[in-house]
Amino acid sequence: MAHLYYGADARPAEIPDHVLAHVKVVAATKLRRGESFLLTWRHGGEEAEGRTSLWMQPSIPLRFVFDTPEPETLDAEYLRTLANEAASSRGIVLDWPDDVVEAHSGEAPPLEAIAA
């Protein structure tokens, strides 16, 4: 699991590497343009049930930490989906069932995939 650190909170959000790699690209694009957006995910693992939403804006420190040393392969369609969500008032809503995380490891990248 990758970790997303945001602001002064020392506790990171745990998000699967392949999901966070896509969020990283969308966030970098939006924040570089000075555009804020909402990012939401459900708590998983040992965290209490619930969800977290962050208002992502350029002035707040942001750090992505990945478990794997190699960059993830990105899916162009998923990037488009996240970019469209980021432009909406709902924002990006991440959802990843445990079986998807396990299935992604070792999965061949789609033909339209690009390197992160």
Domain ranges of the chain: 2-103
Q: What is the mean pLDDT of residues 104-114?
A: 40
The residue ranges of DSSP E strands in the chain, in sequence order, are 2-6, 13-15, 37-42, 51-56, 62-65, 73-74, 92-94, 114-115
Nearest Cα neighbor of 52 from 4, 102, 19, 2 is 4
Q: Tens digits of per-residue pLDDT, 65-106?
A: 999 899 999 999 999 999 999 999 999 999 887 554 444 444
Both structure tokens of 39: 């990012």
* pLDDT band (50, 70, 90) for residue 110: very low
Q: Tens digits of per-residue pLDDT, 3-59?
A: 999 999 999 999 999 999 999 999 999 999 999 999 999 887 666 688 999 999 999
Number of neighbouring beta carbons within 10 Å of residue 54: 19
In Å, how far are 37, 57, 72, 76 from 53, measured between CA atoms? 10, 13, 24, 24
